[in-house]
Structures are given as C-alpha cells and as structure tokens.
Amino acid sequence: MTIVHPDYPAWAGSPAYRDESSISDFIVHHSDGSPDQTPLEIDHEHRAEGWCGIGYTWVIGKDGTVYQGRPVGMVPSAAYGRNEQSVDVCLLGDFQPGTAGYVGAPTVAQVQSLKELSVYAHQKIPTLERIIGHRDVATLFYPSDPGDYATACPGDALEALLAEVRAYTAAQLA
C-alpha cells in the first residue's frame, strides 16, 4: 500500500501532539460530501472552521488512493470525545441513505484500501484495540448522554462494512 503525502500548508497555530501509545481507536468516517473532493479541499474547509489543518489521519479517495492527513502523533480533530485516543480515516463520499448527497456504498477500491490501511495501522500502532465507525463513539463511550457525540457518520452503507474490515484485519494480523 502506498500513502500519498499531499503538500499541505504549514499547520496553523499550535497543533497538539501525543504519545502514540495512547492510541486505541481506529475510527472510520465518511466525508459527507462529494467523492471527488480532495484532501487539500478538506484541509481548506477544516482551516476555515478554525482547525490547524485537516482533521483526519488518512483520507481514502474513490479510486482507493490513500492520502496522509495529520501525522499519527498529532491529535486529530475528527471524533469529538475520542481525539486523544484515535487515528481517523475518512472515505470520500456520502454513505448515508436519505441524504441529498448519498452516493450508495463506498467503491470496492475504497473498501480494499480501508482494509489494507487498517492492517497497516494495527502493525504501526500495536495499542489499537478497536475498529469503529464515528457514530460508535456515542454508543460505546457516552451511552447515557450521547449529546454532542451523536452522529450518523460514517453512514449506514459504510458502517455495514466495518465487520468485514475487522475480520480482514484480524485474519491478516493472525
């Protein structure tokens, strides 16, 4: 697997870093936007929201290309309530049925790259314990008061594939 490193502008402000041994969650997201969006466009949007740059650790394009976002040692801004404990991967597209931008399921290439990236991340970060969708943050860690943690991300069509990603990862690491 090759990871493409876009030429992002310098990180704005003072981004937070962490000890990689604190990372336990591999959290999967969808961009909730166009599958043709680029990581640089996401970076621009996130900076406009006041973030230091792109909030994800990795982004997977519709053709399966994996792009580096924030470095693994930098705290992401993608899963409120679990940023310190997570690395976050975003698949480009809207995978939530009933939304205006719904594109159906992720492409076969995106799913294969997600599986390979999961294996790579688990090999690089041995403290990873779980592969979850962004929506699972609320149900796993804040069940009595999901409030600000509740989200439909990564969309039903992608969430349904996470069991397959978990099984693939486990088989490859065995």
Which domains are seen in the chain, by residue range? 3-8+20-173 (3.40.80.10)
Which pLDDT belongs to residue 109?
Answer: 98
Written as tens digits, the pLDDT of the chain (174 aa) is 899 999 999 999 999 999 999 999 999 999 999 999 999 999 999 999 999 999 999 999 999 999 999 999 999 999 999 999 999 999 999 999 999 999 999 999 999 999 999 999 999 999 999 999 999 999 999 988 888 888 999 999 999 999 999 999 999 999
Which pLDDT belongs to residue 118?
Answer: 98
Helices (H), 2-159: 39-48, 108-124, 136-141, 156-159
Is the whole model's pTM more than 0.85, yes or no? yes
Which pLDDT belongs to residue 150?
Answer: 87
Helices (H), the chain: 39-48, 108-124, 136-141, 156-159, 162-173
Which pLDDT belongs to residue 149?
Answer: 84
Which pLDDT belongs to residue 39?
Answer: 98
| Nearest alpha-carbon partner for 35 in 93, 90, 91, 89 | 93
